[in-house]
Amino acid sequence: MDIGNYIVYNLGGCGILGVGVWLSITQGNFATLSSSLPSLSAANLLIAVGSIIMVIGCLGCVGAVKENRPLLLSFFILLLMILLLEILFIILFFAYQDEIDLYAQSDLKKGLQLFGTEGNIGLTNAWSIVQTDFRCCGVNNHTDWFHVYNATRVPDSCCLEYSDNCGLENPGTWWTAPCYERVKGWLQENLVALWIFALCTALTQILGLVFSMTIFCHAVKVETFYA
């Protein structure tokens, strides 16, 4: 990986960070659907990932320019740790997929209880957008909302045709498809694109590991030659 590649890697981190900051400023009231992880929003994730990539990219870039062994080694170790964590996460995800499904559904149902409450406008907006875009209602079915309202009603975002207080009308006017299955189905439909993205990311990281170690070894040889 030449210096230009390190710069591209660093610029990629800047881009992700920039998108995260933009989302945080312009869409600050759109947050996570999870009640146990209220800070796990798209904006916060992008900011965190972008910042990490920038720091690692800077280490690699400066290390390559200066042929600085400690910086190159730091870049290699950090990138290797991230790659191993990603592999571990994928293995655990497939090994405990059923348990993750059950936990996610349970956590999302707890989040329904916060819908429309003070200080939870982000979660409220997130549920409204998901139900409108995916034409679904509730986590497993529309009756999930009955436990929230203690009545036979749903949010207006569950209605086939939106209007104020339409969630109080006949159930025949509501979406009844489960949001969890709808979103999960959408992810499965785009699984090929997700795997291509994951493989491209892994390939970039492996190339980064190979070339950083190549420059590191070259720096060691140069230093030994002049010693």
State residue 172's pLDDT score.
Answer: 86
Q: Which CATH architecture has domain 99-182?
A: Orthogonal Bundle (1.10)
Integer Cα distance of 31 and 39 in angstroms? 7
pLDDT averaged over the chain? 79
Q: How far is CA 120 from CA 29, 32, 78, 90, 143, in A?
A: 9, 10, 36, 31, 22
Q: Could you say which residues of the chain have pLDDT below 50?
A: 1, 28-29
Integer Cα distance of 217 and 72 in angstroms? 10
State residue 216's pLDDT score.
Answer: 75
For 105-157, the pLDDT digits (tens) are 998 898 898 898 887 787 888 899 899 999 999 999 999 999 999 989 999 99
Q: Residue 3: CA atoms inside 13 Å, Cβ hemisphere, count?
A: 7
Domain ranges of the chain: 3-95+190-226, 99-182
State residue 153's pLDDT score.
Answer: 92
pLDDT above 90: percentage of residues in the chain: 19
State residue 55's pLDDT score.
Answer: 79
State residue 17's pLDDT score.
Answer: 63
State residue 1's pLDDT score.
Answer: 46
